[in-house]
Amino acid sequence: MFAGESSFFAKISVVGVSPELWDRVHEFDTSYEPPAWDILRLDALPAVGTAIVLAATALEVFIAHVLDVLASTSPIPADVWEWLNDRRGEPSVEEQFDFLLHHFVGQTLKDNNELWIAFLDVKRARNAFVHQGTASLNQKRLEPADARRLVNDAFRIIDWVIPLLPTDLQKAAKPPKVETVMQFGMRLFPHAQP
């Protein structure tokens, strides 16, 4: 007779797709690609320094794209807009979220003080990592939770700007939201005692 005990550990990740979600996926055009800023901010999650840089880059790419589209439908001559944007980093990302955004949509990110401060924090943390090699903010080394907060702030900033845009640009800037609810059931059968 042998007796023994064993155990094992397994980590299983499951992504459930409801029939409704599956149908929604097929509504996308075959050439659909998510906006570059969404790819950047979603890829930002694994490492602190990388997260900060990609979150800041997502904001830069987003505001540059939005302003380019808005400028293309405005009375600003194309050559003036091109000249304005080709001047050695001018306008700055701060000026884009402030003065230029206000010019095109009547509001500036500064109108939302909490998000303006969050934007400046993302920018400062990015600059600390890129120029000093350490992801920090106000001389404090950033932890993964801090990076998650800053990445979420980038999401919140983009989500704040989108409703200010013309409807057609809103649709292009924000992929459709898809929600799914998963339900699990388990059926227990009585076990016969020996």
**pLDDT given at position 177:** 57
Each domain of the chain, given as residue ranges in start order, spans 34-171
Cβ proximity of 146 and 48 under 8 Å:
yes
Long-range pairs, 34-37, Cβ under 8 A, ≥24: 34/175, 35/62, 35/65, 35/172, 35/173, 35/175, 36/61, 36/65, 37/61, 37/62, 37/65, 37/158
Phi/psi-derived region of residue 106, left when phi > 0, alpha when psi is between -120 and 50, beta in every other case: left
pLDDT at 6: 47
pLDDT, one tens digit per residue, over 141-156 is: 888 888 889 989 998 9
Q: Which residues of the chain, if any, have pLDDT below 50?
A: 6-8, 10, 178, 180-184, 186
pTM of the model: 0.65
Token pair in block for residue 75: 């009375």
Q: What is the DSSP string of 109-126?
A: GGGSHHHHHHHHHHHHHH
